[in-house]
Amino acid sequence: MAVKNFNLCFCIFLFFVALPLHSYANPSKPKAEKPSAFEFIKHLEGCHKGEKVEGLQQLKAYLEKFGYLNYNHSQNQNHANDNDFDDLLEAAVKTYQLNYHLKATGTLDAKTVSNMMKPRCGNADIINGTNWMRGGKKRPNQAHNTFHTVSHYKFLPGSPKWLSNQLTYAFLPGTNSDAQSAVARAFDKWAAQTHFTFSRSQDLGSANLKIGFGRLNHGDGIQNAFDGPWGTIAHAFAPTDGRFHYDADESWSVGAVPNAIDYETVALHEIGHLLGLDHSSVREAIMFAEAPVGVTKGLHGDDIQGIKALYNIA
């Protein structure tokens, strides 16, 4: 009897050992109590120029990641890795505040801190020093010899585009069916507004677009590493790279679920990057950088104007 029990226990042990410890295909379930990857910003509320506060070094890394701060060509290079609230950091905070429709004080007030802590796309807002989120595109009004703002969409640097309007997509091994279905729906919505057709391929190697999950530093370079729950939730690369990754550590959902992020909403946003759009300053646009939690979003007029302008679609 003892031998039989030992054999049974040994078999169960082997069964569990054989299982993978974790799969990127099984992202986290909704869970309200998860700490935010941006939680450190909360303790910086009220900070302003001239102060030295623990955690400002992390804020500098945050703002550098999203394009707002660059000490490389500054006389203050030695401040890049310290906790001093210097002139360059104040300027970066002001630019962030302008992009997100906040009062540009340069101080980490409550609204700014709250905004910075929200989950968001991992793609930068400002690339190579170019920032168009703030003012939109201005075109002349011939009748009145003036300029008026017509949109706030932005193209990725160099306006990269796909030469073909027939693109294939494939999923990384193990990508769950909920994500696959949501991505397919998102492609259909972009196709309805463009000249593109998107067809699924089973050949990952030859597909134009490659979609799946990643965790932390997942092979896209340290600058594109994910950061755990409620931080950067996904990213995608410009044409014609074709990579689009969800963060496996986030709480994902199909549709609007409290304390979770909708697969399809994020897919719509990241496909915009795959096609060549950058972040918009229009809060209602799908290309706005923040990830909506517990709600869904669809394509906005600004997104549609942007993609049609990029590809000269009538």
* Residues flagged as binding site: 121, 218, 220, 227-228, 235, 245, 247, 250, 269, 273, 279, 287
From the list 33, 45, 64, 270, the catalytic residue is: 270
Cα–Cα nearest to 250, from 242, 239, 259, 238: 259
Please indicate whether residue 270 is annotated as part of the active site.
Answer: yes
Beta bridge partners of 252: 261
How many CB atoms are closer than 10 A to CB 8?
10
Cα–Cα nearest to 280, from 290, 294, 268: 290
Query: Hey, what amino acid is at 260?
Result: A
Q: Is residue 115 a contact partner of residue 135, using CB atoms and an 8 Å limit? A: no
Counting Cα atoms < 13 Å in the Cβ hemisphere of 166 gives 1
Alpha carbons 161 and 97: distance in angstroms, whole number: 30
Counting Cα atoms < 13 Å in the Cβ hemisphere of 95 gives 20
- Rg for the chain (alpha carbons), in Å? 22
Q: Token digits for 236?
A: 């995608």
Total number of residues shown for the chain: 314
Helices (H), ranges, the chain: 2-18, 56-65, 87-99, 110-116, 177-193, 263-275, 301-310
Binding residue positions for Zn(2+): 121, 218, 220, 235, 245, 269, 273, 279, 287
> Which residues are tagged catalytic?
270
